[in-house]
Structure 1
Amino acid sequence: MVLAKRLAEEVKPEFAIVADGGGGLLDEDGKPVSFMVDSAEKTYASFTVTATNPGGHSSLPRKDNAIYDLAKALVKLDAFEFPVMYSDLTLSYFEKSAPLIGGDVGAAMARFAKNPKDKKAAATLRALPEYVGTTGTTCVTTMLKGGHAENALPQSATATVNCRIFPGVGVAKTLETLKGVVANDSLTWTILDNPTESDASPLREDVFGAVERAVHNRFADIPVIPHMASGASDSLHFRAAGIPSYTLTGIFMKAEDEFAHGLNERVPTDNIPGALKMWHDLVTDLAGK
């Protein structure tokens, strides 16, 4: 973050290229299919929601109970779905991905790209974990903690709710929405850490043109697709500092070989020479402009 702010104030770059995401996809036979450029990412934010209670002995149960109060809140969150959202970036992603995916899902992508108010298309995409995040904000409960003894009424119960927030929505508005869904003022909400928000980067023709040339020098004619990441990358800090950022790597991998953040995370060694050549082509192309 400090570096990003310093660059924004002292260097004032037009944009940044960051090697921390994106990259190429191979099919099951090892044939290149597409290349992704992360041009936006959702805001990562976690909240805790806590129910409290005077407690007491379990042989003397109360009508109110911290665990039950929290459970009722979580049931409401489970039933809630954030509104469909879209941007030029996500519509372009669905438009270019549709012919690659094919079938009913590809058709839904194409319809959504043409008309994001198509409820049937949106429902098809939202039913799939790999695409629901591209259609709006998502929040899900990831951790639970409650009670202190098997023979005592719980004095507190806490859940952690992790959200991936669509660019432009914001942490505060998301928390306000969650509180409204639960509709229980006795619960206590806390924002964890210090989430960093960032807007989407514009789909610059000069950047995408250079990326396409570099990719096509290696694999001709595969589509270069703008993508909104659901996770976080170093580009987050550059975008937050006002520097449009584009995240990519020169690595091409099969979907089943993706083990990011796992103990078995790895990169195929035969990718490295081609990736380095691609980076050289991209950087020299942009520098020559």
Structure 2
Amino acid sequence: NSGGHSSQPREDNAIYELGDALKKIQQFRFPVMWNDITLRSFAVDAETADDETAVALRRFVEKPGDKKALKTLEKQTGLNSVLRTTCVATMLKAGHAENALPQTATATVNCRIFPGVSVADVQAELARVVENDAIEFVTLDDPVESPASTLTPEIEAAVLNALKTRYPNIVAVPYMEAGGTDGLHFRRAGIPTFAIGSLFLREGDEPNYHGMNENLRVDAFNGGLDHWSLIIKELAGKPAASE
């Protein structure tokens, strides 16, 4: 906006315009999506979920996209994050002085994009939702797109065998995580890539991931090394299935 002295407010105000746009983004929901991994994880999650969630999970697995099931599942942030692409405002920067009208306002909107959806499509959809040509959408850095990997029998067997050796009563569940990974570069190159957790926590543990005082028990750390050793030894040196 053109700005000016705060003693003379104007109709055009960058902060208000951006606020209106962010409110529209907050209220918008991207279309629901699913893949083999998410459906498989939902089926297993249903075994330990509360009654209402369990019914919704099973209903969604039987009929992906079911609206009645969605009403229950999307209320839970953990489940909603893997049901669709999500975009949320995380940072704001606006104005240049306390007694001046803002000329610019900027927001960082962090998007977790469902595999198979392009960055350009998400950007275009946000612009459509906001409906304000004065607001410009710019991607930070150079985002890399990659497809989801299909879980291979060899990888799954190695994980299950390692788990059986250390914790035979624990069930392994493949799932899709709404997080970033360097593995996307390998997947983009056609190399199936998976993240395998090796840290086992006890009830009451509070590792506080990415927060202040991030921590982990020493025995959990050392046990994680043992877990990786079992998996790597089983997979290392094995010929590819096509050989």
> What TM-score results when the alignment is normalised by the length of structure 1?
0.76
Q: 1:275 to 1:155 in 2, by over 3 A?
A: closer
Q: What do residues 36-75 of structure 1 show as CA deviations (whole Å, max 9, x unaligned)?
A: xxxxxxxxxxxxxxxxx01112232222221111111111
One-letter amino acid matched to 1:217: T
Tell me the residue number matched to 1:281. Answer: 230
Q: Which moved more, 1:269-278 or 1:240-249?
A: 269-278
State yes or no: 1:115 paired with 2:43: no
One-letter amino acid matched to 2:229: H
- In the alignment, which of 250, 262, 267 is matched to residue 211 of structure 2? 262
Distance 1:66 1:272 in 2: 49
State yes or no: 1:95 paired with 2:29: no
| Pairwise CA RMSD | 1.8
Larger RCO (CA under 8 A, 6+ residues apart) = 1
Tell me the residue number matched to 1:78. Answer: 26
Q: 1:124 to 1:258 in 2, by over 3 A?
A: farther
One-letter amino acid matched to 1:277: D
Distance 2:227 2:5 in 1: 67
1:189 CA displacement:
1.5
One-letter amino acid matched to 1:91: L
Tell me the residue number matched to 2:241. Answer: none
- Kindly report structure 1 stretches of 4+ aligned residues shifted beyond 6 Å: none
Tell me the residue number matched to 2:159. Answer: 211
Q: 1:208 to 1:70 in 2, by over 3 A?
A: same
1:283 CA displacement:
2.3
Tell me the residue number matched to 2:195. Answer: 247
1:149 CA displacement:
2.1
Q: Which moved more, 1:245-254 or 1:156-165?
A: 245-254
More strand by percentage: 1
Give structure 2 stretches of 5+ with no counterpart.
Answer: 239-243
Identity %: 47
State yes or no: 1:186 paired with 2:186: no
> What TM-score results when the alignment is normalised by the length of structure 2?
0.90
Partner secondary structure for residue 173 of structure 2:
strand
The answer as to whether partners of 1:168 and 1:198 remain within 8 angstroms in 2 is yes
Q: 1:287 to 1:157 in 2, by over 3 A?
A: closer
One-letter amino acid matched to 1:210: A
Distance 2:186 2:76 in 1: 31
1:221 CA displacement:
4.1
- In the alignment, which of 144, 162, 175 is matched to residue 196 of structure 1? 144
State yes or no: 1:132 paired with 2:80: yes
**How many residues are matched?**
237
Distance 2:17 2:181 in 1: 36
The answer as to whether partners of 2:33 and 2:65 remain within 8 angstroms in 1 is no
Partner secondary structure for residue 179 of structure 2:
coil
